[in-house]
Amino acid sequence: VTVHLVGAGPGDPGLLTVRALELLRSCDAVVADTLVCPDVLREVPDDALVVSRAGMSQEQVNELLVRLGRRGLDVVRLKGGDPFVFGRGGEEALALAAAGIPFTVVPGVSALAAVPAAALIPVTHRGVAHTVTLSTGRAENGDEPDYDALVAGGGTIVLFMGLGRLAVIAAGLMQAGLPQSTAAAVVAGGTLPEQEVVVADLAGIAEAAEGLSSPALLVVGDVVRVGVALKQATETAFQHQG
């Protein structure tokens, strides 16, 4: 009789947590994000109610969770990545708390570091970057991200939800002081079989990433070069083995 706000990880079903799997296998209802891998939903009991949140507003999702909670069901609210990293899990928790519905939060593997890692980019490589600054590429009210603050962080920049606006974002970062030659990568479909990685300098990243599909993450900073070196090193190692 609880609503569990559960992170499903970045896509690869192998990155679901053990706790998430336990809850899925015993729940009465699931309300799933569209980014969640369909394989994961096969784990729920046959008689469980499965609802996709596709086409629902955030307010409708909040109301649905409260309604299911009031019916005394064990509900899994399955969200991509981690529920509290650009996932609006906080809003759902607040709505449940306001309605007096018990809830738990089950952290998930966020795209934040998992997607760069899947592309061999270590976001805090020692001696290269000791900070990571996160941002959404499109602020809710239509504002641009705070490019000055992102650049002032001085380390790796990870941008969510920016695929359609890469040219504007790159221009904003350069205007805020990043050199055109700063390394950048776009990782699309990270951790999934269809994963694609594009690397370019900041000035060329929008053009290089044309044609990639969502979900995609932008990573900016010298750690991208470490990723490129790692990829080359692995390829060479495999060639020697072969």
Give the integer Cα–Cα distance in Å for 197 and 145.
Answer: 23
Residue from 8, 132, 187, 209 binding ligand SAM (CB under 6 A): 187
Closest distance to ligand SAM from the beta carbon of 153 (Å): 18
Interface segment toward ligand SAM; rule CB under 6 A; list 22-30, 199-207, 214-222, 234-242: 214-222
| 13 is an interface residue for ligand SAM by CB under 6 A | no
Query: Residues near 78 by Cβ (< 8 Å), separated by ≥ 6?
Result: 6, 8, 20, 24, 30, 31, 32, 33, 36, 40, 41
Contacts of 59 (CB under 8 A, 6+ apart): none
6 is an interface residue for ligand SAM by CB under 6 A:
no
Report if residue 85 touches ligand SAM, rule: CB under 6 A: yes
Instruction: Say how far residue 110 (Cα) sits from the centre of its chain.
Output: 5
Instruction: Print the binding letters for residues 25-64 with ligand SAM: x by CB under 6 A, - otherwise.
Output: ----------x-----------------------------
Quote the tokens at residue 168.
Answer: 């504007």
Instruction: Give the span between the Cα atoms of 132 and 87, in whole angstroms.
Output: 18
Q: Which of residues 91-130 bind ligand SAM (CB under 6 A)?
A: 110-112, 115
Conformational region of residue 154, where left means phi above 0, alpha means psi within -120 to 50, and beta covers everything else: left
What character string, x for contact with ligand SAM (CB under 6 A) and - otherwise, covers 142-161?
A: ------------------xx
86 binds ligand SAM (CB under 6 A): yes
Selected from 8, 10, 30, 173, the binder of ligand SAM by CB under 6 A is 10
What are the C-alpha distances in Å from 194 to residues 12, 26, 34?
11, 31, 17
Residues that bind ligand SAM (CB under 6 A): 10-11, 35, 80-82, 85-87, 110-112, 115, 160-161, 187-192, 214-217
